[in-house]
Amino acid sequence: MTNPATNAGLAPSDKALVPFVSVDHMMKLINHIGVEEMLRGLAAYIEADFRRWELFDKTPRVASHSEKGVIELMPTSDGEVYGFKYVNGHPGNTKGGFQTVTAFGLLANVANGYPVLLTEMTILTALRTAATSAVVARLLAPKGAHVMAMIGNGAQSEFQSLAMKAICGVDEVRLYDIDPAATEKCAANLAGQGLKIVKCASAEEAIEGAQIITTCTADKQYATILTDNMVGSGVHINAIGGDCPGKTELAPAILHRAGIFVEFPEQTRIEGEIQQLDADHPVTEIWQVLTGQAKGRTSAEQITLFDSVGFAIEDFSALRYVRDQIAETGLFHPLDLLADPDDPRDLFGMLQRAKG
């Protein structure tokens, strides 16, 4: 692993230059590595960090809510490296031609506070969300699961589908969205990716024969994407659309029938599907399953639910992964972000000398 205290690919004399991964460089990096290989790499980093979960600073994300959406900061540190992500969620943005979610992130060296990476995270968040979903599905989905229903065919849908293929062995994806154009888009993007794609006319049709059900819708409201009678025994539900107060996708009765697994309960009880339940309703943390401190699926008939809202440690893992990759590929810009005079006490002198 690259030393987090040094800047990727930069000479020691350039210690104040921060590697910046632009959108263009991120796309080049993903295409250089390959989408499925990058999803597997991200999954490995996420799993490794979940296994050392107790080392991290953990806090619910700092959110600023408005009628239009939410802007959030997601910080964490393992004691050596600090990371945060800035992210928004504005469901109405697509009507104006904007993304629902945009993001950027930063890593810094705890020892001196200097940033060591700044990167786009709109694309990276989609990848890390999908990789996290697949890590959990590999733990909880019924044995031999190979069909996924993908309900909500927006920006996340292709990443989710390919992660389940690359990491869990899914070979068929059944698509449904209230907007048929979204389903057509997703099906076209997944053509030739090694998946059997079935376009469905309803959510009920999409879940027929599916062992994994992924819900990923965007409306900021209490919604019922899955009703209780739609969900049979033995399935794994990957609920990733509910990610802020007042935004859910599942009928409460499903939650009462399912074994519920979460990232960080203090955040999920505010933002996830379980905001619909009593505050003391039992849930299991994913890191505990990965480390053997808690059980995952307990029977073939059990309904398992990953109530995923995204957590800062997953972003930390993704940032760490990107930082290690760019050290070898050189896919970054050295960014003149930090004022760093030769004499740390002479910041004003540096300003004066800049007059020329």
Alpha carbons 80 and 156: distance in angstroms, whole number: 31
Burial class (CB in 10 A: 0-12, 13-18, 19+), 18: buried
The b-or-e profile of 311-324 (16+ CB within 10 A means b, else e) is bbbbbbbbbbbbbe
Q: Which of 49, 177, 243, 315 is catalytic?
A: 243
Closest alpha carbon to 314 in 256, 242, 263: 263
Chain centroid to CA 78:
19
Alpha carbons 183 and 76: distance in angstroms, whole number: 36
Q: Specify whether 243 is catalytic.
A: yes
- What the block records as the tokens of 247 is 């935004």
The b-or-e profile of 285-297 (16+ CB within 10 A means b, else e) is bbbebbeeeeebb
The DSSP code for 244 is B
Closest alpha carbon to 183 in 154, 204, 210: 154
Closest alpha carbon to 152 in 219, 198, 246: 219
H helix or E strand, kind and range, residue 287: helix 286-290
- What the block records as the tokens of 131 is 């990789």
The DSSP code for 236 is E
The DSSP code for 165 is I
Alpha carbons 172 and 195: distance in angstroms, whole number: 5
Residues marked active site are found at 243
